[in-house]
Amino acid sequence: MVTTAHLVAFAALTFVMVVVPGPSVLFTISRALTVGRREALLTVVGNATGVYTQVVAVAFGLGVLVTTSAAVFTAIKLAGAVYLVYLGVQAIRKRRKLTEAMASTVRTAPGRTWAVLRDGFVVGFANPKSIVFLAAILPQFVDAGASSVPAQMLVLGICLPVIALATDSVWAVAAGTARSWFARSPRRLELIGGTGGLVMIGLGTTLAFTGRKD
């Protein structure tokens, strides 16, 4: 199975990759500013689940396919980009309803909870930064001579969602706290809602034009 040395080394490398803000962090901040801290934290959970789904996919062969097929890489990337743009447009359209949303942030309806988790999952699974990292780096920490290589990848890969869950939650709480200042004025809240939407649209557009580094 996985050695302690390999696990620690991979965890350290993963931490360095995660702390550099990427699509997931920017998306979390935008969600915290537009819909609040609670839903931002739910987004983080969904995002971590999506990222671990990438780990499972890489462990069972998708990683090789992504790194060798430009078409597959582009399809995953564009799916995430389009979804981000869609969420950004929705945030701008509903920016005038943010004051009402503030009152309902404490008790999120079950259907809304699943929708927020789904949004985070889609962005996490379609994040090209993490899937390329996993496909290129994860196999290097696996002992090919040992039994069950996929199992080793699944164990090592836990580091990514766990570290992302911790660091992204900090971003969510910090941005959610800043949002409370904007909430004191409906005009401020409307402004931050529109700005958050534009950030998501810009992030999606940037993601769509991000090329492969190979």
Say whether 15 sits in a helix, a strand or coil: helix
**169-212, pLDDT tens digit by residue?**
998 888 888 776 665 655 655 666 666 667 767 767 776 776 54
Backbone angles phi, psi at 24, to 5 degrees: -65, -45
Least confident of 31-40, 64-73, 128-137, 150-159: 64-73
- Encoded tokens for 167: 């660091």
**84-102, pLDDT tens digit by residue?**
777 777 767 765 555 554 4
152 pLDDT more than 90: no
Give dist(CA 96, CA 94) in Å, integer.
5
Which is more confidently placed, 99 or 24?
Answer: 24
Kindly report the pTM of this predicted structure: 0.69
The overall average pLDDT reported for the chain is 76
Give dist(CA 65, CA 25) in Å, integer.
26
What integer pLDDT is reported at residue 169 of this predicted model? 93
**6-20, pLDDT tens digit by residue?**
899 989 888 877 876
CA 153, chain centre distance (Å): 20
106 pLDDT more than 50: no
What integer pLDDT is reported at residue 159 of this predicted model? 94
What integer pLDDT is reported at residue 50 of this predicted model? 92
State the pLDDT confidence band at 68, using cuts at 50, 70 and 90: low
CA 123, chain centre distance (Å): 5
Provide the residue ranges of all domains of the chain, joining segments of one domain with +: 4-15+23-208
Give dist(CA 125, CA 80) in Å, integer.
8
Q: Which DSSP state fits 105?
A: S
